[in-house]
Amino acid sequence: MLEDGLLKYVVFMDIISVCVKNNLVKNVIHPLISKLKEYSSQFGISYEEQLALFTACKSAVVGEKLENDVISIERIMLESILKVGSPESINMASEMIIRSVNLPGFFGFEDFINLSAIQALKQGDAKHTFVYSLLNTFVSGNYLTWKDFVATNKSSLEEANVDLESAELKIQMLSLASLGNRELGNKIPFSKVSEEMFGTSSLENELDIELIIIDTIRFGLINAKIDQIDHSITISRSTVRQFGMDEWKIIGKRFNEWRTSLNALLPVINNAKLIAQLSLSSAPAVVEITKKK
């Protein structure tokens, strides 16, 4: 008789198989992806069985083209199952990066860069160091660094099946997010936006600028208002791509600006308090007289 944990594992594997055969992966397996690691721990199964479980789940969601789920499973496997630096880990890390670059709407590259399995790519062969450089470009690069990267690695990008058009748009949106983080709340002329997106301040591609801004808003990287009259954009919220010393400096600068603004308001507030106190102290007394009936 199977132990309770092993029995659950067998049943779960059967569920995956049934879902694949009956097109139920999206409805049944998809909601369970976030709990896979917890389930595998509860089952108390061996390394080989854990590997089989996650591989089966990955295969199921790959078949349904649920790319976000595939990335989630690959990340769990890289963090918790596969040995860092092993051929399996190296290959999966590379696949996950390429997949994330090609996936529209995926921008969580900063979450990958510090994973041990990803860092191990730097010690790999040229193919894998290239993939690490690709990831690094999406973490901290801009349009111009991307164009340089493409020029230097075009054959490698084609061999890795990187969608260059989609990747370029993604870099442009990330570049706009970086610009927004630096210029938060300020009116940014389209010429400056164009320089960030296309490497030129020319407004010949103004329609493209507006479309990319709209896409960047749609994907949740920024909140912004476009002023078509004076050809500018004001960004009120921007996603931080990488949090390092430069970002701390920006925060420090903003705190100083807020402190200055608050200090400027204090005399106004104190004056208002004083006026209110004087008004109360000089208010005429009100005496109510009630006649006896």
pLDDT digits (tens, 9 = 90+) for 73-114: 999 999 999 999 999 999 999 999 999 999 999 999 999 999
Kindly state the DSSP code that residue 189 receives in the 8-state scheme: E
Q: Give the lowest-confidence range in 57-61, 82-86, 176-180, 253-257.
A: 253-257
Total domain count for the chain?
A: 3
Q: How are strands ordered across the β-sheet holding 187-189?
A: 187-189, 232-238, 222-227
What is the β-pairing status of strands 232-238 and 222-227?
antiparallel
Position 82 scores a pLDDT of 95
Any domain includes 276: no
Q: For the segment 144-159, what is each residue's pLDDT rounded down to a tens digit?
A: 999 999 999 999 999 9
Residues 60/19, Cβ–Cβ less than 8 Å: yes
Q: How far is CA 238 from CA 27, 178, 229, in A?
A: 33, 7, 23
Of the chain, the percentage scoring pLDDT greater than 70 comes to: 88
Predicted confidence (pLDDT) at residue 274 exceeds the cutoff of 70: yes
Predicted confidence (pLDDT) at residue 189 exceeds the cutoff of 80: yes
- CA atoms of 79 and 251, how far apart (whole Å): 31
Long-range interactions of 28-34: CB distance < 8 A, separation 24+:
29/57, 29/60, 29/61, 29/69, 30/61, 30/66, 30/69, 33/57, 33/61, 33/69, 33/72, 33/73, 34/72
Given 191, 216, 238, the domain boundary residue is: 238
12 lies in the same domain as 61: yes
Predicted confidence (pLDDT) at residue 214 exceeds the cutoff of 80: yes
- The helix (run of H) or strand (run of E) holding residue 223 is strand 222-227
Given 223, 238, 253, the domain boundary residue is: 238
Any domain includes 27: yes
Range 38-67 average pLDDT: 93
Instruction: Return the SS3 of 71.
Output: helix
Of residues 108 and 284, more confidently modeled: 108
Any domain includes 96: yes
- What is the average pLDDT score of the chain? 87
Given 218, 238, 258, the domain boundary residue is: 238
Predicted confidence (pLDDT) at residue 284 exceeds the cutoff of 60: no
Predicted confidence (pLDDT) at residue 28 exceeds the cutoff of 90: yes
Torsion over CA: 4, 9, 12, 13 (sign): negative
Instruction: Return the SS3 of 228.
Output: coil
Torsion over CA: 210, 216, 218, 222 (sign): negative
Predicted confidence (pLDDT) at residue 244 exceeds the cutoff of 80: no
Any domain includes 194: yes
71 lies in the same domain as 95: no
Q: Is the whole model's pTM more than 0.75, yes or no?
A: yes
Range 138-145 average pLDDT: 93
Q: Which domain holds residue 125?
A: 83-162
Predicted confidence (pLDDT) at residue 287 exceeds the cutoff of 80: no
Q: How far is CA 118 from CA 75, 100, 234, in A?
A: 10, 13, 36
Residue-wise DSSP of 232-274: EEEEEEE--S--SHHHHHHHHHHHHHHHHHHHHHHHHHHHHHH
Residue 218: CB atoms within 10 A of its CB come to 11
111 lies in the same domain as 157: yes
88 lies in the same domain as 156: yes
61 lies in the same domain as 109: no
Predicted confidence (pLDDT) at residue 115 exceeds the cutoff of 70: yes
Residues 191/205, Cβ–Cβ less than 8 Å: no
Range 121-150 average pLDDT: 93
Residues 124/89, Cβ–Cβ less than 8 Å: no
Amino acid (one-letter) located at 252: G
69 lies in the same domain as 89: no
Of residues 255 and 68, more confidently modeled: 68
